[in-house]
């Protein structure tokens, strides 16, 4: 069966994956761009970026992925559901290039974008959303793209096979935390940590197979 993967989910030392006060002019709230500066410096992000260890981790994001699931909080700023013209942050040709399933309590008709991305809007449980995404992924893996609320829900439901978290050495103090309610998650994963010269630590969680 295809795997369920999370990549490049960047968190502060105190566990926040986004800041407080998300808005149209502040997609990450008071965190600004601080959670992703490590990524902006890589070739994964722009062609003159560094091709070192951070790039190697970042570039795994798209390999073998046939669909993404994201939350309403990643798709747009608070209240985007009231704007019928809102089509996500990423312009007419979004970088996903696959079906994208947006979890929202206020679904709307699907939107076909350029470059192979189609947004589908679902009010469904994580397991139901995963079944839809798997069916659309053509045998490839499904990425859970965030934000932290949706990743936390998929982890709590035991649905994530591979989790890549990037711990950034900043303290945000407020925002949306990833780890709340996930006590002892580490018991069901093999965990590796790699710190890179940029100062971040890449944590990879690989789910232990049942019966081992
Ligand atoms: N640090 C990173 O690497 C990273 C990665 C991705 C995103 N982000 C940031 O994270 C923030 C968004 O994260 P978030 O935790 O606030 O929100 P989120 O996880 O993107 O979305 C949560 C929202 O999705 C909807 N939803 C979730 N599960 C649902 C279900 N089963 N059925 C129907 N609707 C469901 C609900 O919205 P409604 O009730 O309003 O429909 C819920 O409030 C943004 O600031 C984004 O920029 C950070």
For 76-102, how does the pLDDT look when each residue is reduced to its tens digit (9 = 90+)?
999 999 999 999 999 999 999 999 999
Instruction: Give dist(CA 92, CA 176) in Å, integer.
Output: 28
Read off the pLDDT band of 212 (50, 70, 90).
very low
Cα distances from 31 to residues 11, 80, 129, in angstroms, run: 10, 20, 29
Return the residue whose CA atom lies nearest to atom 10 of ligand 1: 147
Taking alpha carbons only, the member of 61, 65, 60 closest to residue 140 is: 65
Span 141-147, mean pLDDT? 97
> What is the reported pLDDT for 106?
98
57 has a pLDDT exceeding 80: yes
> What is the reported pLDDT for 211?
52
- Under a CB-based contact definition with an 8 Å cutoff, are residues 110 and 120 in contact? yes
> What is the reported pLDDT for 195?
98
Q: Is the C-beta atom of 177 inside 6 A of ligand 1?
A: no
Read off the pLDDT band of 170 (50, 70, 90).
very high
Span 45-66, mean pLDDT? 97
209 has a pLDDT exceeding 90: no
CA of 39 to the centre of ligand 1 (A): 21
Span 119-126, mean pLDDT? 98
Instruction: Give dist(CA 18, CA 29) in Å, integer.
Output: 7
> What is the reported pLDDT for 210?
67
Taking alpha carbons only, the member of 212, 153, 151 closest to residue 187 is: 212
17 has a pLDDT exceeding 60: yes
Q: What's the pTM?
A: 0.97
Q: Is the C-beta atom of 27 inside 6 A of ligand 1?
A: yes
Percent helix / strand / coil, the chain, rounded to 5 = 25, 30, 45
Q: Is the C-beta atom of 77 inside 6 A of ligand 1?
A: no
> What is the reported pLDDT for 1?
82
Q: What is the largest CA-CA distance in the chain?
A: 50
Return the residue whose CA atom lies nearest to atom 44 of ligand 1: 74
CA of 75 to the centre of ligand 1 (A): 8
């Amino acid at each position: 069966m295809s795997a369920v993967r999370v990549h490049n989910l960047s968190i502060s030392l105190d566990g926040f994956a986004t800041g407080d006060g998300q808005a149209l002019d502040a997609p990450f709230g008071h965190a600004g761009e601080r959670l992703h500066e490590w990524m902006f410096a890589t070739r994964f992000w722009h062609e003159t970026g560094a091709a070192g260890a951070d790039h190697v981790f970042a570039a795994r994001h798209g390999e073998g992925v046939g669909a993404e699931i994201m939350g309403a909080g990643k798709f747009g700023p608070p209240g985007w559901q009231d704007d019928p013209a809102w089509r996500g942050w990423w312009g007419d040709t979004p970088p996903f290039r696959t079906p994208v399933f947006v979890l929202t309590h206020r679904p709307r008709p699907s939107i076909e974008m350029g470059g192979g991305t189609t947004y589908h809007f679902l009010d469904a449980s994580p397991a139901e959303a995963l079944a839809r995404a798997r069916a659309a992924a053509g045998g490839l893996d499904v990425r859970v793209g965030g934000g932290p609320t949706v990743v936390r829900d998929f982890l709590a439901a035991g649905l994530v096979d591979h989790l890549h978290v990037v711990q950034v050495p900043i303290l945000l103090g407020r925002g949306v935390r990833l780890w709340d309610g996930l006590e002892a998650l580490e018991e069901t994963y093999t965990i590796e940590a790699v710190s890179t010269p940029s100062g971040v630590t890449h944590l990879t969680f690989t789910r232990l197979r049942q019966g081992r």
